[in-house]
A and B are shown apart, each in its own frame.
Chain A
């Protein structure tokens, strides 16, 4: 097991190195220096001296490999730079927005479990029936429809036509817990339906596989009732994909949060990311890309290790 984890870890470190290089390249792709583009409004770009000073201030006059080394060093030490757009410390920006996005993700995960598990189980138990076909169609639709459209539809139905939920806005939990939760219902539902649909499909196929196993036939043969077979024998192994899907959907949720937070005006990481991308605020864009990819990398590593633990066969051939 130790060797297996070691190999996985080394593997992840190699990938991390490539990710960092990729992010650096993307940030440098912004035409005519990201900083120059972002500063176009505030400084006189026709004055060569001013341009030179700004370039020097941000280290853009250094050779690219040196810029890369300096940037990595600062990043590791937690000096993520200052936002070009707001002038804030980037690390502080992350700290203040993270809890809001986490609340959103937590709600979305609850929704996706509440949708995905029952739908998947029903689909597996009634497979190939009309109910199953409808549920399968429903899950594909749930996975396919764009989050931004789903959000707009829900706002129209549940905020404009029937004014139950606020159409947008965010209230801190510490200020008014009830309003906070009310404002979070629609955004978290929109985020959750996508991974919920995905989860339903995985639960269905995994449960179908388990239900075909010999020991399920044995359980049936010894006279257990169908609910007991499903609940006692099939559910536990059939639920393994839940861990994976929930873990892996967090990366997708962050992409969804870019839209959901922009539409519902929630001041979290997603909205910060969108704004940074539009303002070519590349310290923030870089940091966002790295935080996102490291998060995905860690979850993947965790899932790999968990699987190696659960299934000894995987350990042998990493």
Chain B
């Protein structure tokens, strides 16, 4: 903070901000720093799981089932004798993949709808907003659970169900931002020199509303990881032999008294992942909100 003061780093909502400045602004928040660290570590584990895992996550050894932690199996084994540590590493792939893809699809659908609603206004806007209002009446988990039950088991259906619900939040945020930005002088200027509406939307409005969308994406990744593990915990979502943390937790629960690590360890991973995305999302929000600058 020696060369650039906080004001220079976290500019008001209407301005383009180089991504690195944003990252630097976020890093000033202690909890966000912790979150970024955990996310980086999880990504590392997920990417290099095949190299890091001491065993195959699918190799069964029924004689060595439910073993306690040892030098061979660092966290012990599951009910089919598979190495728990290796399965947790591979589980990071599932969770991060589902989390990121769900959030990305939701954001893409929602931002386009929101842009459209905010820019067009009128009846289209009113209809889209009432539909998002209706979606907000369902608790996300219940809606997504019902949807994935209707669509059938499998991770792709979890992602699909999530996106069918998740777009609403992004649409609302985007629309609100568009309503603010479209009245600004530079949009009027663009319009007066004859820039076509589509180009105004994509080139002039979209870049200026990305900040809150970014916050929402971060938090949505955490939510999607939670939803995936929840749906898999209840038995939909990931199917055997996929190493999903939620699934692992579910199976491990049955053996809680004898091998507590079997259910506790996957829970630690799920919680770490969700908490870290929430920490970063929180830091981002504070960094982007000029009103909170003084309060911290």
Which residues of A pack against B, CB within 8 Å? 11, 14-15, 18-19, 22, 26-27, 29-31, 127-128, 133, 136-137, 140-141, 143-146, 148-149, 152-153, 155-156, 160, 208, 251-252, 254-255, 258-259, 262-263, 273-274, 277-278, 280, 285, 288-289, 292-294, 296-297, 300
Contacts and interface: CB of A to CB of B under 8 A. Distances in A.
B149 interface: yes
A293 B137 contact: yes
Given A15-B133, A127-B296, A152-B249, A289 B142 contact: yes
A146 B234 contact: no
A34 B174 CA distance: 36
Contacts, number: 138
Interface of chain B, helix or strand or loop or mixed? helix
Interface in B129-156: 130-131, 133-143, 145-147, 149-152
Contacts of A27: 150
A155 B139 CA distance: 26
B116 interface: no
Contacts of B229: 146
B270 A152 contact: no
A296 B139 contact: yes
Given A31-B152, A160-B257, 5 more contacts: A18-B134, A146-B229, A146-B274, A285-B146, A289-B138
A140 B146 contact: no
A82 B278 CA distance: 42
B235 interface: yes
B166 to A, nearest CB: 15
A137 B31 contact: yes
19 contacts: A18-B131, A22-B135, A27-B150, A128-B295, A137-B31, A140-B31, A140-B278, A141-B275, A144-B271, A146-B229, A146-B267, A146-B271, A149-B249, A255-B142, A258-B142, A258-B145, A285-B146, A293-B134, A300-B137
A128 B296 contact: yes
A146 B137 contact: no
B36 to A, nearest CB: 14
A124 B229 CA distance: 34
Nearest to A149: B267
B260 interface: yes
Contacts of A274: 145, 234
